[in-house]
Every structure is written in structure tokens, then in C-alpha cells.
Amino acid sequence: MAASLGGFFLPATALASSATYTVRAGDSLYAIAAKFHVTVHQLELWNHLSSDVIHPGQVLVVSQGGSQARPSSASSSSRTGASTYVVQPGDSLWSISEKFHITVSQLEAWNGLVSSSTIHPGESLRVAKPSSSPPSSSHHADTQQVSLTSRGSSPGSSNASLTQSALGFAVADYARTFLGDPYEWGANGPSAFDCSGLIQYVFAHFYIQLPRTSYAQYEVGVPVSESSLQPGDIVFFDTYGSGPSHDGIYLGNGQFINAASTSVEIDSLSDPYWADHYIGARRVVGQNG
């Protein structure tokens, strides 16, 4: 006997003994795995998935026992007095700071990180201010101050810049979760995309609303020189005649992700084809209006 939830069927025994989660727009297997402290492989195994493509309304088993799955949140961590957090697949400094209602600069200072630092699944991060200041904390503060000074900005504006940078990395990381999804002209997700549809879908996950076409997206945000590109910037190309007829999301190290002729793929700006058709970039992260 099976039960139907949201049009997707699950065995009654699974529903009885396991916790479930209904997929929402913008969700990915990586984000759901991080939320319930499980692995993507476990989600695929428990739900008999052959790929990481999921759809809003789909019901997923998120544990093999109802008591095992507890969504991580800032409120539950506050109740338990947790001061550390174990990084999960798909996490970024920005998403962790949002989860615990702190700033990215605080995370960096408490953990001896800088804006260019990377984090890895399984790594333990301090997510609450130490009750007492150990000797190393002053070193962290000094490191943060050096970073601020080197940017030539006031602490307030530098903190904003760090947060913007972290959000850009989060945008780039989320875009990677769609790698390999099929290209389809006019499609805007979640199972297929055209170039501007992918851009709009990814940024909507971070509550940044963009126009639908690459031409309109080229008019949003502020222009960025190629030498100043940062992860999360939108790069544009004139692949179908003059004008920004194609776009992608910059990932760093000269690479960008885009919905090309057959699928979502990662390409290089130094590739002769893309270099020849590159026309500019725009930064929408941290911009108003």
C-alpha cells in the first residue's frame, strides 16, 4: 500500500517510520541534505533517485527514522546553546551566517578566516561569540583589522563588502548544483533552463529578482571590468549577433557556468570562442535597484 503526497507516491511503511520533507521552489538536494544533516547519497538512496533533479511539491524521505531528522536552524541552536556548527555539503559562510543570525565578518573573526577562505564539509566552525576572550581571539581581531585596512575602507563599508563577497560565492555554489541539467530554449527551471532562465532562477533563490531575458539582465546592476570579476557576477556574450544574447554566472578562476547548447556546463573565459564573444559583466549582488 502506498500513500500519495503532492502527487508523489511513497510506501506507507516509509511514511510511518521516516520523516519527510516537501520540496519547495529553489530547493536542491544539497540544501535539503544540509538542512537535515544527511548526505545527498542518503537522500538519493532513500528516495530511489537516479539523479539530483527534484521538483517543487515532491515529497522526500529525509531520515530512516522520524526522530533522526531535525532541521538545523538558528532558533534550535540557540535553545541548545550550541556554539559550534559542522559544515554540511552545500554550505557557505553566507548561508551559515544567515542560519545563525550573525554576520560573515563575525564568522571570519571567530574562526580566523578571511574573505578568500574556503570551508569544507565536516569542518567545525564557531557560530557564537566566545564567552571569554582567549589569547587567539585578539589575533583574529588583528587579522580582521589588517584585512579591513588593506581594502582602504572604513570598517562598516568593509563588512558590507565581505558580506557581498560571501553572497557572491553562495550564488556561484548554488549555480553549480544545476550542472548537467538539460538546455531548453525558453525554459526557466527547475529541471531545464535556457541561459537567462538559469540566471533568473539561481538569483531568485537568494531573493534577487532579475528580468527574464539576457538583454534585460544586461541593464541591471553595475558594470564590472573583466579584471575585477568576482564569483556571482553575470558575464555576457554576443553569441547571436550584436548585443548580450547569452549570459552566465562567473565562478572564479576565469570560469563561468551557463546553460549552453545542450546542458548547463562550466566554460572558460579564456576559451577562444567565449573570449571572442565576451562583451562585459554586471554585478547585481549587493546592489539596490
Same domain, 232 and 256: yes
pLDDT digits (tens, 9 = 90+) for 4-13: 433 444 433 3
The model's pTM is 0.49
Q: Which of 68, 88, 117 is the last residue of a domain?
A: 68
Same domain, 117 and 55: no
Same domain, 183 and 261: yes
Q: Domain of residue 238: give its range.
A: 178-283
Residue 155 within any structural domain of the chain: yes
Residue 48 annotated to the active site: no
Exactly one of 37, 246, 253, 288 is catalytic; name it: 246
Q: How confident is the model at residue 67 (pLDDT cuts 50, 70, 90)?
A: very low
Can you give the CATH number for the domain in which 186 is found?
A: 3.90.1720.10
Same domain, 93 and 109: yes
In the chain the beta strands, taken as DSSP E runs, fall at: 2-5, 8-11, 20-22, 59-61, 84-86, 124-126, 222-224, 234-237, 246-252, 255-259, 264-268, 278-283
Same domain, 139 and 203: no
Residue 289 within any structural domain of the chain: no
Same domain, 159 and 80: yes
pLDDT digits (tens, 9 = 90+) for 73-100: 333 333 334 588 887 777 777 778 788 8
Q: How confident is the model at residue 252 (pLDDT cuts 50, 70, 90)?
A: very high
pLDDT digits (tens, 9 = 90+) for 114-154: 766 677 777 778 888 766 443 333 333 333 332 322 223 33
Exactly one of 47, 258, 277, 288 is catalytic; name it: 258
Same domain, 27 and 98: no
Average pLDDT, the chain: 75
Residue 111 annotated to the active site: no
pLDDT score for 82: 53
Q: How confident is the model at residue 194 (pLDDT cuts 50, 70, 90)?
A: very high
Q: State percent of the chain over pLDDT 70.
A: 73
Residue 288 within any structural domain of the chain: no
How many separate domains does the chain show? 3
Max avg pLDDT among 35-39, 170-174, 234-238: 234-238
pLDDT digits (tens, 9 = 90+) for 174-187: 999 999 999 999 99
The strand pairing partners of 250, in sequence order, are: 256
Residue 205 annotated to the active site: no
Residue 60 within any structural domain of the chain: yes
Per-residue pLDDT at 16 exceeds 50: no
Classify residue 20 by burial, with Cβ atoms within 10 Å: 0-12, 13-18, 19+: buried
Same domain, 90 and 60: no
Name which of 172, 213, 176, 207 is nearest 52 in CA terms. Answer: 176
Max avg pLDDT among 38-52, 127-141, 185-199: 185-199
Q: How confident is the model at residue 264 (pLDDT cuts 50, 70, 90)?
A: very high
Same domain, 159 and 232: no
Same domain, 104 and 146: yes
pLDDT score for 227: 95
Exactly one of 111, 195, 277, 288 is catalytic; name it: 195
